[in-house]
A = this chain, B = another copy of it.
Amino acid sequence: MTATSALALLRFDGDRTIGHDLVDPASPVLSALDLAATRGDGVFETISVGHGHPQAFEAHLARFVRSAAKLDLPEPDVDVWRAAVLAVAAVIGPVPEAFVKTVLSRGIEGGSSPTGWAYGAVAPDHTAARTRGVHAILLDRGFRSDAGAAAPWLLVGAKTLSYGINRAAAREAAKRGADDVVFVSTDGLLLEGPTANVVILRDGRLLTPPLDAGILPGTTQADLFDWAPSRGLEPLYQPLRPRDLLDADAAWLLSSVRHAAPINAVDHAPLTMDRELTDAMNDFLSARTA
Contact = CB atoms under 8 A, between A and B. Distances in A.
Interface of A: 7, 25-41, 44, 71-72, 101, 103, 105-106, 117, 119, 139-144, 147-148, 150-155, 160-169, 171-172, 186
A41 B7 contact: no
Contact of A142 (B139, B143, B164, B167): B143
27 contacts: A7-B32, A25-B32, A26-B31, A30-B34, A30-B37, A32-B117, A33-B119, A35-B167, A37-B105, A37-B161, A38-B101, A40-B160, A41-B164, A72-B171, A140-B150, A140-B151, A152-B168, A153-B165, A153-B168, A154-B168, A155-B164, A155-B165, A160-B164, A161-B162, A162-B162, A162-B163, A186-B186
B168 A139 contact: no
A144 B103 CA distance: 31
Given A139-B151, A147-B186, 9 more contacts: A28-B29, A28-B31, A30-B32, A30-B37, A40-B162, A71-B167, A142-B142, A161-B162, A186-B186
Given A72-B171, A186-B144, A34 B31 contact: no
A159 to B, nearest CB: 11
A148 B164 CA distance: 14
B37 A37 contact: yes
Contact of A155 (B33, B101, B168): B168
6 smallest A-B Cβ distances: which pairs? A40-B40, A162-B164, A162-B162, A30-B30, A153-B168, A36-B37
A200 B72 CA distance: 32
A44 B37 CA distance: 11
Nearest to A195: B39
Contacts of A148: 142
A37 B119 CA distance: 12
A63 B99 CA distance: 37
Contact of A28 (B30, B44, B71, B155): B30
A171 B41 CA distance: 12
Nearest to A172: B153
Contacts of A41: 163-164, 167
